Amino acid sequence: MVLNYKKAAVFYTDTATSNGTTIVLLHGFLEKASMWNEISSELSKRNRIVTIDLLGHGRSDCLGYLHSMELFSETVEAVLKQLRIRKCIVIGHSLGGYVALAFAERNPQKIKGLCLLNATSNEDDQERKQLRTRANMMIQNNFTNMVRMSFTNLFSEVSRVNYADEIKNGLDEALKTSIQGYIAGQEGMKLRPNRNHVLAKNDFKKMIITGRKDPVLDIQKSIEEAEKTNSKLIIFPDGHMSHIENFAKLIIVLKNFIKDC
């Protein structure tokens, strides 16, 4: 299905076959809605599942060269409005988690539960912001190598061997991202504010899932964040791609979270 938002096409899927809780799944940077296929297959047995190609990813168009988390979240709002969904659980991977937080800040009354999968409510530190700026300069002249490096570095060393086929498939999809989509996403993540308060001040169920060997998110900071925001914390042993590296355990954790909401 497709939504036209500010003259941009935003593609999404909706199982709409279950009367259970609506689960909105938001993918990460250089991914698209199909990253959730196996998870959606499991969760859709008892729940309604909505997945969205975020701006500049998958089949969705770009809106300029800056996709702020607020702009991303506006498209999520528009999709849910079109589907007449009033209440949902949102699960966001990486970038999708940042978008989920922006959506929850704007629409706390619509949230039954919020899960940050390999994501954080903290803002980028100065080093990460500089890395994003540098990446956006380099991507214009060396797209393939930059995407390849960005994507494969999200996995732990062991996972790069154990999940070689899954990594190749994911990389093939990542390479379909446009340069504009890459730049706009990086700029948006670089400028996103701290949203600890979204977790701390709201009563909906909150969970942070992180990888002990995540090269992007520091495990100690995740522990401190969970304590500060009164969020449940799940720590997996691997990297930034828990939906691949820890799939079986993740399904169990998500089903329990949904049940608790």
Per-10-residue mean pLDDT of the chain, 261 residues long, equals 97 86 97 97 95 98 98 98 97 98 98 98 97 95 93 91 96 96 98 98 98 96 98 97 97 98 97
- Helices 126-138 and 179-191 pack at an angle, to 10 degrees, of 170
Among 136, 221, 137, residue whose Cα is nearest residue 187: 136
Closest CA to 225 of 237, 234, 215: 234
Amino acid at 21: T
Two tokens, residue 252: 């169990």
Q: Which domains does the chain have, with CATH numbers?
A: 2-260 (3.40.50.1820)
How many CA within 13 A on the CB side of residue 228? 14
Maximum CA extent, the chain: 49
- The predicted model scores a pTM of 0.98
Regarding beta strands 22-26 and 88-93, do their DSSP bridges make them parallel or antiparallel, or are they unpaired?
parallel
